[in-house]
């Protein structure tokens, strides 16, 4: 297509958005701001300013100003600077302290603790002062000045980070280290299509913003604080949910992170492990056993949602948390996380919660889950949310399977509840009602029942899958959050309806703003900005919807399909059990290549084609192509493992 030759990494506009919320977010996993590269130029000089959140030093924000002489000769060139920094904050109690290595120092704490009577988080900031003007000397052709801001949770941490940044700055490598880290990250993963430029740019922008929110691989001692729907907290609940962590992290963002960045995926799971104590307290406070993860979680894992109804009723978050652990386990086989680092404790505690939360119905001879709120927040206090109950089944069955793998006992009650929990189904209309008593035609807020099948593993006949999509598409609010339509698109791709899939995916573009592809939670520009959850759903629609890729216990099935307007897909850097894969397809063929292995422990892989069941070895470093069909990437059997080290094989 004509658009395929355009560069999807370049976003251009004649002017910046009048609403600064829609400027590009510049973040790492710890610090961020909204800003841009700005250049001024006349006949004699060019001045450029740039701000970046350092990729390998997550406690550092760097700001640079560069002056370049454009005309030969001439005298000194002076540029005036305006610095609007103020040490006052509505959220922090700050005080000036002694300078450190030429940097100014502020210290203090948050004004509001996470929990009443709890500790107030310490804040320590060092920054290099900005002069009123910069001058390019008469004999100089160009020069760059760099200014630093460092934030830490202790004075020692802030000082150590500044010292390291100054060391890199003195060697002229501060920006180089940042740029190289980003180049390394992009070299390791990618997602592109042969299709409209707007789609390609939207994918690139979403992947950039999601990667920006994650820790750089290999940063020693970094602790991940989770992913919030609007990214880092910036002082406005309406725009960022105060940085709290919801199910958005586990269901909407995590699958993308896992496919490209398993180390960061583990860091997100470690956040849930660190907050397990708070989840145990949440369950006890509600009168149940096990763990109930907070609807809004912060540092401790205790519920911090300001409205009790969500914290007590949206218990489906537990199922999303366990699903993330399940996908990670199948994708990485990282037994250490479950045996030694607390992963098993999370899965076990959620299983215990479910078994204490259900109630037996003698009349139906089924377990019921009463008084819940499903993802559709227009309905509260309902019984037997089909989405929630299916997640209960999934959590308990995974807990049992994991227990067997780890040599742990399997409580019989887990399997009994999984087998006997009610999964509402309307035989007359051949669809899944959202909950007991739901009537077709009732408006719903967002994707709910349509999440069954994907991302929630649940077997559905094509007829029922279609009926669920048709019924809920007609009644889903157009004012709902951005991630919804992506999941409808995935459903229609499963049913091989490319026209309808593209039509639903196109609805997501109403939430993408120009020119920086910043997402808003709602199409009317309200809600969280920059909305990582919407990006997560959008990326999944391509990464898992176009390709049919799924992460399962037995491998990674695929069933590629190009929606209307797209003729090919290329994904680089898929991680599966220590192997790094490239997966691409066009209208008539599929190509898979293992381009790297993490070590000798990474198992050799093969691809099994369906329906022929032909098995093709995937030798590292060689492309294997075959006519487009469904299949599964899986561990090789012993004889195929030996063949994988032989010469390349191509099948057309």
CA-angle at 55, arms to 218 and 183, nearest 5°: 85
| Closest C-alpha among 39, 49, 44 to residue 69 | 44
- H/E stretch holding 144: strand 142-152
Residues noted as catalytic? 377
Distance between CA atoms of 375 and 275, rounded to whole angstroms? 22
Under the banding of pLDDT at 50, 70 and 90, the label for residue 296 is very high
SS (H, E, C) 448-476: CHHHECCCECCCCCHHHHHHHHHHHHCCE
Under the banding of pLDDT at 50, 70 and 90, the label for residue 5 is low
CA-angle at 206, arms to 585 and 457, nearest 5°: 65
Mean pLDDT score, 183-209: 95
Distance between CA atoms of 82 and 446, rounded to whole angstroms? 45
Could you tell me the pTM of the whole model? 0.94
Buried b (16+ CB within 10 A) or exposed e, 255-290: bbbbbbbbebbbbbbbbbbbbbebbbbbbeeeebbb
Residue 584 contacts residue 569 (beta carbons within 8 Å):
yes
Distance between CA atoms of 316 and 372, rounded to whole angstroms? 8
Asked whether residue 391 carries a pLDDT value surpassing 60, the answer given is yes
Mean pLDDT score, 274-290: 98
**How do residues 463-515 score in pLDDT, each as one tens digit?**
999 999 999 999 999 989 999 999 999 999 999 999 999 999 999 889 999 99
Q: What pLDDT score was predicted for residue 36? A: 65
Q: What pLDDT score was predicted for residue 223? A: 86
Distance between CA atoms of 649 and 493, rounded to whole angstroms? 30
**How do residues 229-279 score in pLDDT, each as one tens digit?**
998 877 665 678 989 999 999 999 999 999 999 999 999 999 999 999 999
Of 87-91, 127-131, 589-593, minimum mean pLDDT range: 87-91
CA 238 to chain centre: 20
Could you tell me the CA-to-CA distances from 93 to 83, 118, 122, 145 in Å, in that order?
21, 16, 10, 31
Q: Cβ contacts of residue 114 below 8 Å, gap of 6+?
A: 121, 298, 299, 300, 302, 304
Q: Cβ contacts of residue 86 below 8 Å, gap of 6+?
A: none
Mean pLDDT score, 113-133: 93
**How long a stretch of residues is the chain?**
652
| Closest C-alpha among 276, 221, 227 to residue 252 | 227
Mean pLDDT score, 428-457: 97
Q: Is 478 exposed, middle or buried (0-12, 13-18, 19+ CB in 10 A)?
A: exposed
CA-CA-CA-CA torsion for 269, 393, 376, 303, nearest 10 degrees? -40
Give the other-Cβ count within 10 Å of 403's Cβ: 18
Q: Is 580 exposed, middle or buried (0-12, 13-18, 19+ CB in 10 A)?
A: buried
Asked whether residue 550 carries a pLDDT value surpassing 80, the answer given is yes
Distance between CA atoms of 603 and 579, rounded to whole angstroms? 8
Residue 67 contacts residue 47 (beta carbons within 8 Å):
yes
Distance between CA atoms of 207 and 44, rounded to whole angstroms? 39
CA-CA-CA-CA torsion for 491, 580, 223, 62, nearest 10 degrees? -100
| Closest C-alpha among 545, 523, 532, 519 to residue 477 | 523
Q: Cβ contacts of residue 36 below 8 Å, gap of 6+?
A: 16, 23, 24, 51, 516
Instruction: Match 């001024």 to its residue by tokens.
Output: 40
Asked whether residue 327 carries a pLDDT value surpassing 70, the answer given is yes
Mean pLDDT score, 193-209: 96
CA end-to-end span of the chain: 24
Rg value, the chain, Cα: 26
Q: What pLDDT score was predicted for residue 170? A: 95
* Percent of the chain's residues with pLDDT above 70: 96
Distance between CA atoms of 379 and 444, rounded to whole angstroms? 8
Under the banding of pLDDT at 50, 70 and 90, the label for residue 210 is very high
Q: What secondary structure letter does DSSP report for 249?
A: I
Asked whether residue 1 carries a pLDDT value surpassing 70, the answer given is no
Q: What pLDDT score was predicted for residue 643? A: 47
Asked whether residue 644 carries a pLDDT value surpassing 80, the answer given is no
CA-angle at 513, arms to 508 and 518, nearest 5°: 90
Question: Two tokens at 254?
Answer: 């995590």
Of 1-15, 459-473, 635-649, minimum mean pLDDT range: 635-649
Could you tell me the CA-to-CA distances from 394 to 324, 368, 402 in Å, in that order?
12, 15, 12
């Amino acid at each position: 297509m004509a658009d395929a030759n355009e560069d999807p990494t370049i976003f251009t506009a004649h002017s910046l958005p009048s609403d600064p919320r829609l400027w590009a977010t510049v973040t790492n996993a710890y610090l961020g701001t909204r800003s841009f590269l700005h250049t001024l130029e006349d006949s004699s000089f060019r001045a450029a300013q740039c701000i970046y959140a350092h990729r390998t030093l997550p406690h550092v924000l760097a700001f640079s100003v560069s002056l370049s002489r454009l005309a030969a000769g001439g005298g000194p060139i002076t540029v005036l600077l305006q610095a609007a920094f103020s040490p006052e904050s509505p959220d922090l109690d700050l005080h000036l302290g002694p300078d450190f290595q030429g940097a100014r120092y502020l210290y203090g704490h948050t004004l509001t603790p996470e929990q009443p009577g709890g500790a107030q988080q310490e804040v320590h900031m060092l920054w290099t002062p900005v002069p009123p003007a910069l001058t390019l000397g008469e004999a100089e052709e160009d020069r760059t000045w760099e200014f630093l801001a460092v934030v830490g949770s202790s004075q020692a941490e802030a000082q150590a980070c500044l010292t390291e940044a100054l060391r890199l700055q003195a060697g002229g490598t501060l920006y180089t280290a940042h740029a190289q880290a980003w180049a390394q990250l992009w070299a390791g993963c990618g997602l592109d299509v042969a299709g409209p430029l707007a789609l390609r740019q939207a994918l690139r922008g979403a992947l950039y913003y999601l990667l920006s929110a994650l820790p750089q691989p290999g940063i020693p001692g970094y602790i991940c604080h989770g992913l919030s729907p609007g990214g880092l907290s910036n002082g406005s609940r309406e725009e960022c949910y105060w940085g709290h962590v919801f199910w958005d992290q586990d269901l909407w963002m995590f699958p993308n992170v896992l496919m490209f960045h398993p180390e960061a995926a583990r860091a997100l799971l470690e956040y849930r492990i660190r907050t397990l104590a708070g989840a145990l307290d949440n369950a006890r406070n509600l009168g149940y056993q096990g763990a109930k993860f907070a609807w809004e979680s912060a540092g401790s894992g205790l519920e911090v949602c300001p409205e009790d109804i969500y914290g007590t009723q949206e218990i489906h978050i537990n199922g999303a948390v366990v699903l993330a652990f399940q996908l990670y386990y199948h994708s990485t086989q990282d037994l250490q996380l479950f045996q030694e680092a607390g992963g098993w404790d999370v899965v076990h505690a959620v299983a215990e919660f479910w078994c204490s939360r259900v109630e037996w119905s003698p009349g139906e001879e089924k377990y019921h889950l009463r008084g819940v709120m499903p993802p559709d927040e227009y309905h509260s206090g309902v019984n037997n949310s089909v989405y929630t109950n299916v997640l209960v089944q999934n959590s308990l069955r995974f807990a049992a399977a994991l227990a067997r793998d780890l040599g742990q006992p399997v409580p019989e009650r887990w399997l009994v509840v999984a087998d006997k929990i009610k999964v509402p189904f309307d035989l007359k209309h051949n669809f899944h009602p959202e909950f007991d008593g739901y009537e077709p035609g009732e408006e719903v807020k967002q994707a709910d029942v349509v999440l069954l099948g994907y991302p929630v593993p649940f077997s559905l006949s094509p007829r029922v899958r279609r009926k669920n999509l048709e019924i809920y598409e007609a009644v889903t609010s157009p004012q709902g959050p951005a991630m919804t339509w992506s999941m409808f698109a995935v459903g229609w791709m499963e049913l091989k309806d490319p026209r309808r899939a593209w039509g639903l995916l196109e609805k997501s573009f109403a939430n993408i703003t120009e020119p920086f592809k910043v997402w808003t939670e709602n199409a009317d520009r309200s809600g969280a900005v920059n909305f990582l959850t919407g990006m997560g759903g959008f990326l999944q629609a391509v990464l898992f919807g176009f390709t049919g890729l799924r992460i399962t216990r037995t491998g990674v099935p695929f069933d590629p399909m190009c929606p209307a307007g797209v003729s090919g897909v290329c994904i680089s850097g898929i991680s599966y059990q220590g192997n790094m894969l490239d997966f691409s397809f066009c209208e008539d063929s599929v190509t898979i290549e293992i381009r790297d292995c993490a070590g000798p422990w990474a198992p050799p892989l093969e691809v099994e084609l369906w329906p022929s069941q032909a098995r093709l070895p995937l030798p590292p470093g060689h492309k294997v192509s075959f006519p487009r069909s469904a299949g599964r990437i899986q561990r090789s059997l012993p004889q195929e493992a030996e063949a994988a080290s032989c010469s390349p094989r191509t099948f057309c």
